[in-house]
Structure formats: structure tokens, C-alpha cells
């Protein structure tokens, strides 16, 4: 069973055991507007929590996906390279950015659950 967590910077994580799928929230993609470019990290890249892991460019602005927790990339959503608009169309599904192997599961306790995230964006 997966667990869904969020950050105050509008990233989401779907956690399955020690693997987390990471993307940006619907709120974030709406704020960015039409996404036209995504630059993803390479498989095997390790990140500390808070490090910039991907570049996101839209018609309105450029931004970064910050790694919410410490981990190593085990998969990237290469489909976003050819179709970055997928992030706008399905941000919590097919618009995911990376999957990471979590290094420190205790970092998850600092993330928001759905109710707390909903309060943040309301």
C-alpha cells in the first residue's frame, strides 16, 4: 500500500516501501502554467533533501523540482522529455518525474499528509 506525502514547496511523494515516486502537485503545475521543458537527472544520481533534482520550464517561469528527501534515483520518467505537458495533464499520475530509493526513512516524518497540504494551499 502506498503512502502519499507532500512538501511545502509543492512536491508530492508516493511511497512504496523504500521507493518514492516524486512529482509536482496540481497546485504547482497550475501556478507554472503550460510546461514546455523538463530536464531530469540521470539514473543513479544521489541527492540530499532540498537539492535541485530537475529543471522545469513553462510559458510563465522556470523552476526546479527539489528533492524532498535524501535518496538515489532508480528511474526517471523519460516520456516527459518528449511530452512535458503530461505534467499539466496528470501531475499526480503519469506526470511523475523520478523514482528514488530512500536513504533515510525518518525524513518522511517531516512531510505533510493530504489534509495538511490541503490546508496549506487553501
The domains of the chain are located at 3-104
For the chain, where are the alpha helices, taking DSSP H only? Answer: 26-32, 79-82, 86-89, 114-121
How far apart, in whole angstroms, are the C-alpha atoms of residue 35 and residue 72? 25
Summarised one tens digit per residue, pLDDT across range 13-51 is 999 999 999 999 999 999 999 999 999 999 999 999 999
Stated pTM of the model:
0.94
Q: What is the mean pLDDT of residues 66-71?
A: 96
Level-2 CATH architecture, domain 3-104: Beta Barrel (2.40)
pLDDT at 108: 95
- Rounded Cα gap, residues 91 and 12, in angstroms: 9
Whether residue 83 is predicted with pLDDT greater than 90 in this model: the reply is: yes
Amino acid at each position: 500500500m502506498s503512502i502519499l506525502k507532500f512538501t511545502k514547496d509543492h512536491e508530492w511523494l508516493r511511497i512504496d516501501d523504500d521507493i518514492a515516486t516524486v512529482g509536482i502537485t496540481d497546485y504547482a503545475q497550475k501556478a507554472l502554467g503550460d510546461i514546455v521543458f523538463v530536464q531530469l537527472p540521470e539514473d543513479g544520481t544521489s541527492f540530499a533533501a532540498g537539492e535541485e533534482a530537475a529543471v522545469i520550464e513553462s510559458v510563465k517561469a522556470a523552476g526546479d523540482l527539489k528533492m524532498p528527501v535524501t535518496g538515489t534515483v532508480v528511474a526517471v520518467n523519460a516520456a516527459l522529455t518528449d511530452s512535458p505537458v503530461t505534467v499539466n495533464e496528470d501531475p499526480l499520475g503519469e506526470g511523475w518525474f523520478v523514482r528514488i530509493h530512500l536513504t533515510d526513512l525518518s525524513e518522511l516524518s517531516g512531510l505533510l499528509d493530504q489534509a495538511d497540504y490541503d490546508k496549506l494551499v487553501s
